[in-house]
Structures are given as structure tokens and as C-alpha cells.
Amino acid sequence: MSSLRTIALLLSLSLVSETEQAFAPTALPHVLPSARQTCLSAPKMMVAPVKERVEFPDHMKIPISAPAAAQGAWNCEGGVCRPRGLPSPSSPQPELRSDSSPLEQLLGADLELVHCATNGPAPLSTLPTSGVIAVYFSAHWCPPCQRFQPKLLETYQNAQRENKPMEVVMVCADRKEEEYANHVSGLPWRAVSWAQKSKLGKLMGSLKVGGLPSLVLLDAATGAVITRDGRRLLASDPLALNYPWTEPAGAAPAPTPPSSPARSPSRAS
């Protein structure tokens, strides 16, 4: 009796194994076409991947008051790249000395600048104390910046030729040090050092800049903002004729109306 039960059990296991093999993916050709199609079209159970929260590393977090920005998170449209990132706590500001210049008070006494041509240090205190300081916000990856920078360079060089005091301080939003180095290399002005790339957000906030490229013109003597519309003004003034750009580009004094000619006395009728 026990041997019969064993044989029956082995037969049932054999039938189950053959059924599984018949409907296995590799055995589908042995199944009738209609059954095969039903098997292929049957919904499969999918396990959704778990989405992990992305944390930006410290070197990519840029403190900014308005607007908030994170390096590498920008929207470029309409000729301007605007930040759209994660805000991070603002860094403590250094104490200002009583003898701090207006530019040090505006930009920060601890701001480290370098000469773009040599990559050597260029302290903030060595900036000109007269004329125009142009704070230029740009990035290597920014198409509008690539179009504007040659125009800025042309205006800058013509201002230098005409002995019109002007200095450019470049603030870069480049993502990698190699991009930054290629971006500033050979330029005739100064830039915020790569080591202080986190200053981008603070400077955008203090100068009320909302996108790239931007050019804020400052009075070198007082630190006062001449205009935040430097990009438009200088792009349309390659010869620096409107220096120091306190008036809208292309504006000219209203012509004096010609004096009316003296009228001869009328003849008596």
C-alpha cells in the first residue's frame, strides 16, 4: 500500500513539473498561440524603486538671501540663466574694520580676488578708488554669458585705451574648477578666487542680482550702485562713449531749439 502511495505522489510531482516547464518563458513555443499571447500580455508585478533624498555636498551649497540658489541648478531661457536651487544657511559675515573702504563694506572685507591673466592674488584693497567697478556675474556653461562676454571685453578695452578708469570683478558660477580655470584664463581683469566660490550667493543677494549674465556698475569712490543694467548699457556701447553709464545708453542731451529769427517790422498798410 505504501509503495502505491509513493508512486502516486511521484506521478503528481511529475505532472506539476511538466506544467511549470510548459508555461516557462523558454517553453512558450510549445504552448498554443492563444495561451502564449495571454501569458505574454499578463500584467507583471513591478516593485517601484525606493527614491532616496539627494543631499548636496557642502561645496555645492551656496548661501543666498534672494533668490535662493544651488550650484548647478539654473533655468536658462529668454537670454538669462536664473538660479533655482536649495537655500542653505547664510555664513557669518566678517567684522568690518573702521577703516574699511566702501567696496569692502559692500562686497566683504574677506573677499579674495585673483588676476585672471596670472592667477596671482589681487587684494580688494588694490582696486581703483575712482572710476567704475563692474561686478560681472557669469558662468562657463551659460550661453547668454558666452554671447555677452566678448562685448564686455571690447567695451573694457576701449575704456582702457581712452584712460577711462574701469575695473571688472568677475563672479563665476562654474561647476568645476577646470571650467572656472578655462573661463577666466587670459582675461585682463580680476575674478573671485575658486576657493571662495561659495561667495556667489552672498554677492548676488547683496547686489540684488537675479540671473546670469549680470553686470552691476559701482562707483569706485563711494561703492554706490550706478546701475544694475550694465549688461544692456555696455553691450550697446562698444566704444565706451557713454562712460560712466550714469545715463541710459544712447541718450543724448535734448537739442536746444533754434532761436526764432528776428521778424522785420510789418509794413503799415
For residue 151, what pLDDT is reported?
Answer: 97
For residue 45, what pLDDT is reported?
Answer: 44
Once rounded to an integer, what is the mean pLDDT over residues 23-48?
Answer: 47
For residue 257, what pLDDT is reported?
Answer: 41
For residue 65, what pLDDT is reported?
Answer: 34
Contact 166, 129 (CB under 8 A): no
pLDDT confidence tier of residue 262, bands split at 50, 70 and 90: very low
Three-class DSSP category at 219: strand
Give DSSP secondary structure letters for 56-118. --GGGEE--SSS-EETT-EEEETTEEEE-----PPPPPPPPPTT--HHHHHH-TT--EEETTT
Check residues 114 and 248 and name the one with the higher pLDDT.
Answer: 114
Check residues 34 and 118 and name the one with the higher pLDDT.
Answer: 118
Please name the residue that has the C-alpha cell 526764432: 260
Strand-pair category, 166-172 with 190-192: parallel
Run of H or E including 34: helix 33-41
Three-class DSSP category at 151: helix
Q: Which residues pair with 218 in a beta bridge?
A: 133, 225
At 20, list the grid cell.
511549470
Note the pTM of the prediction, 2 decimals.
0.61
At 106, list the grid cell.
559692500
Please name the residue that has the C-alpha cell 596670472: 118
For residue 109, what pLDDT is reported?
Answer: 84
Residue 75's identity, in one-letter code, is N
Residue 179 has pLDDT above 60, yes or no: yes
Check residues 134 and 89 and name the one with the higher pLDDT.
Answer: 134
Check residues 102 and 66 and name the one with the higher pLDDT.
Answer: 102
Check residues 247 and 192 and name the one with the higher pLDDT.
Answer: 192
Residue 70 has pLDDT above 90, yes or no: no
Three-class DSSP category at 247: coil
At 52, list the grid cell.
532616496
Q: 265 preceded by cis ω (within 30°)?
A: no
For residue 68, what pLDDT is reported?
Answer: 36
| Nearest partner of 180 among 244, 116, 254, 248, judged by Cα | 116
pLDDT in tens, 98-136: 456 788 888 888 899 999 999 899 998 899 999 999 999
Residue 86 has pLDDT above 50, yes or no: no
Check residues 155 and 71 and name the one with the higher pLDDT.
Answer: 155
For residue 11, what pLDDT is reported?
Answer: 64
For residue 121, what pLDDT is reported?
Answer: 94
Run of H or E including 8: helix 2-22
C-alpha pair distances (Å), 44 with each of 20, 39, 40, 232: 17, 10, 9, 58
| Nearest partner of 72 among 175, 166, 211, judged by Cα | 175
Of 17-31, 50-64, 190-204, the least confident: 50-64
What is the chain's percent helix, strand, coil content, to nearest 5?
A: 35, 15, 50
Say how far apart CA 103 and CA 73 lie, in whole Å: 29
pLDDT confidence tier of residue 79, bands split at 50, 70 and 90: confident
The size of the chain, in residues, is 269
Once rounded to an integer, what is the mean pLDDT over residues 83-111?
Answer: 62
Of 52-61, 97-106, 110-119, 225-234, the least confident: 52-61
Once rounded to an integer, what is the mean pLDDT over residues 47-53?
Answer: 40
